[in-house]
Structure 1
Amino acid sequence: MKGSTPLTMKDIAKEFGISVATVSRALQNSSRISIERREQIQKYAREHNFSPNMLAESLRHSKDMPIKIIGVIIPQFVHYYFSSILTGIEEEASARGYRIMIAQSDEKYEKEVKICQSFFENQVCGIIVSQAKDTVKYDHFQKLIDNGVPLVFYDRICTGVNASRVVVDDYMGAYTAVTHLIDTGCKRIAFYGSSMKLEISKNRYNGYKDALLKHGLEYDDTITKFCDNRADAEAITPSLLSSKNRPDAFFAVNDDTAIGVLYTAKRMGFRIPEDVSICGFTNGNRAIACDPMLTTVEQRGVLVGEEAANILIGHVEGSLPIDKAEKKVVRTRLVIRGTTK
């Protein structure tokens, strides 16, 4: 190893031309690995001062450990979707004898890196994470994987590392929602989305765009906006609704943004849905607390959380190979209410 860079399981695996999983088993003295190979790997690890996440390693080979803690990183607590996912994680983890340690990245890359390091130092047995909006480098995630810490992404997945993931069908959810708007007579549909750095944003945008093209409507980038919160929606929407060729519908990346459009349109004197139709994406509590109630795509966050916890625990306990990425897609459902015809 060069300099003072810590040795990882990936480094040991590369040295011997084997998998990270094999290194993990050898360091735990598993009978699945020959005695000679175990001794070779263990000697190499000792000579290079290897220090693995011992709690995580022992948990993978024991179902009787008294301390079973899963680290969970959420971007922001304020979003209903993330809180519902957290509920699913906690319920599944608790049912299987695990506790969770929760941290908020606040959509900041630097904070996310520190949380990953803190979780590793606190020896969590695995981490479930939705990446921050401004995360564009993934070394902190890869470091965890290289050190044998199971990682499961939810919602906002990281395509830069090979890790398990649980997502909703964002593309089809958006496609179905926009098709509904078109089927109810809307012909000029605006799109409010998040940063295209995120896979969920790309997928929802592509679903929106393909629905337009499939139904013979022209795509217009002047009504496609970077807008993913209520405050921005209330700031941006007046100019669109005041334009000569105004949108007759809005499809928003989340419910808060859609509600921002709703209240702005109402303040400007537009009738909902007679003059302007609106569709969100989440189906949180706020969707039924507005007037009229919001048509939206249900993401089924509790199920996403349950699936993420189930996969993570599978990696920890060994029923799922740690070096094989599991991929689970949860189907969405369009919930039609009063903001569409």
Structure 2
Amino acid sequence: MKTQVTIKDIAKALNISPSTVSRALKDHPDISQKTKDAVNKIAAELDYHPNTIAQSLRKSRSNTIGVVVPELVHHFFASVISGIEDIAYKAGYRVVICQTNEDVTREKINISALISSRVDGVLCSMTKETKEYSHFKSIQNRNIPLIFFDRICNEIKADSVVVQDYEGAYEAVEHLIEQGCKRIAHFKGPDSLLITRQRLNGYYDAMRESHLQIDEDLIIQADDRESARKAIYDLVKSEEPMPDGIFCVNDNVAVGAMMQLREMGINVPREVKIVGFEDDTTFTRLTDPQISSVFQPAFEMGQRATEMFLDELKRKEAHPEKILEPKTPRIEVLKTKVVVRGSSNEQVAQQERARRNYLENV
């Protein structure tokens, strides 16, 4: 079995000292260009790779960022990770990604593993089950920067990046009202999440300010496709009038709601109009009609979370002997906007259908 090539192997091949090889590989000014070229040539021929673990132990830095997300299958989190890697790569950092699958036990195990791996920081979007936060405190107790994004934790003093959840929800419901909806349902997420409460408050205020009656029976916890389908089935079978508009906590819920409505013979958007909260543009663009949604800048969120980590790392490295908390945790709020598609506007739905028919017949 081939062994790991070391600096000593390169030094032996060139009959020079290991310290000279080390400095040549680091482009040290005291080493001649001729020696540097020779060292780099042999290093390439021998397929030499530096021992990053040993280097990190010497520098007390691993140049690795741990990222914890609920799910990787969602376009939203994939876009956030792309934003994280964009900034991390430029700053010379690797990214280790952990998936919790909405399981708080896995979240704790993942964070413990990241701490053991000596990551320089943790960027986290917590699970919808998380109600106890000792594992987050464990990160901070080791002077490791902790940044939350999307799903944040108010009980932990840490910097975070979110979107305009309240404003986005308000504008989504306002859009449904402008389309003529008067009996609007809200399919919400779990109450443990701040984004759920923010989006619910946006729904409430938009309804109140338009002087529309709020029916608490139309506020239903449905935060995945199957629970959305069940909620629609129950509403259709109920003796109460059907809602004419539905604001969904995310796009996956909106897809489930629309699928069930169509299966039960209810036209979207003529009879029921739907708006989601964008987390997966793949689904929203492939449905017929396409789903109106509140756009949230996921890529930018990842970028800003990583920039916050780099800022916090500098602050902590200036005082390595102290356990520091942010004096005033920063919360950066990114703008959202309603993207109108066919699920909430009949004219747009007709345009989408005409475009599909044209493309199919070309």
* TM-score bucket (shorter structure): 0.7 to 0.9
Partner of 1:281: 277
1:295 Cα deviation after fit: 0.3
What SS class does the counterpart of residue 157 from structure 2 fall into?
A: coil
Residue 199 of structure 1: how far off its partner (Å): 0.2
Distance in 2, matches of 1:272 and 1:112, equals 38
Q: Once the two structures are superposed, what CA deviation does each residue of 1:220-272 show, in whole Å capped at 9, x if it has no partner?
A: 11111110111111122022134331100111011111011111111222222
| Conserved 8 A contact 2:143-2:316 | no
- Alignment root-mean-square deviation, CA: 1.9
Determine the structure 2 residue equivalent to 1:16: none
Q: 1:168 aligns with which of 143, 154, 163?
A: 163
Q: Which moved more, 1:77-86 or 1:330-339?
A: 77-86
Pick closer, same or farther for the CA change 1:240–1:123 going to 2, 3 Å: same
One-letter code of the match for 2:299?
V
The CA distance in 1 between the partners of 2:57 and 2:156, in whole Å, is 20
Deviations 1:121-149 (A, max 9, x none): 11000000011111111011012112101
List aligned pairs for 1:1-341, cutoff 5 A: 67-243=62-238, 244-282=240-278, 284-318=281-315, 323-324=325-326, 325-341=329-345
CA distance in 2, matches of 1:98, 1:317: 14
Q: Which runs of 5+ in 1 are unaligned?
A: 1-53, 60-64
- Show CA shifts across 1:158-193 (max 9, x none): 111100100011000000000000011000011101
Query: Which ranges of structure 2 fall in alignment gaps of 5 or more residues?
Result: 1-54, 319-323, 346-362
Q: Which has the higher contact order (CA 8 A, sep 6+)?
A: 1
Amino acid at match of 1:166: V
| Inter-CA distance 189–291: structure 2 relative to 1 (3 Å threshold) | same
Seen in structure 2, the aligned counterparts of structure 1 residues 153 and 286 have a Cα distance that, compared at 3 Å, is: same
* TM-score (normalised: structure 1): 0.79
Q: Is the 8 A contact 1:70 1:128 kept in 2?
A: yes
Partner Cα separation in structure 2 for residue 57 and residue 292 of structure 1:
58
Contact 1:125–1:149 (CA under 8 A) maintained in structure 2: yes
SS class of match (1:334): strand
Cα 1:161–1:273 shift into 2, 3 Å: same
**1:170 and 1:200 in contact (8 A); partners too:** yes
Structure 2 counterpart of 1:305, which letter?
Answer: G
Looking at structure 2, the residues matched to 242 and 248 of structure 1 have their Cα atoms a distance apart, in angstroms, of 15
For residues 82 and 320 of structure 1, do their structure 2 counterparts lie closer, same or farther at Cα, with a shift above 3 Å needed?
Answer: farther
Preserved CA contact (<8 Å) 1:282 1:297? yes
TM-aligned CA deviation for residue 57 of structure 1 = 11
Determine what percentage of the aligned residue pairs are the same residue: 34
Q: Which moved more, 1:93-102 or 1:234-243?
A: 234-243
Letter in 2 for 1:287: T
Q: Match of 1:275, as an amino acid?
A: E
Which protein is bigger by CA-based radius of gyration? 2
**Paired residue type of 2:335:** R
Q: Which stretch shows the higher mean deviation, 316-325 or 247-256? A: 316-325
Shift of 1:96: 1.5
Cα distance in 2 between the residues matched to 1:212 and 1:137: 33
Look up the equivalent residue of 2:209 and give its one-letter code.
K
CA displacement, residues 88-112 of structure 1 (integer Å, 9 cap, x when unaligned): 1111111211110110111111111
Shift of 1:55: 5.7
Is the CA contact (8 Å cut-off) linking 1:193 and 1:201 kept in structure 2?
A: yes
CA shift in 2, pair 1:230/1:173, >3 Å: same
- CA distance 1:235–1:209, shift in 2 (3 Å): same
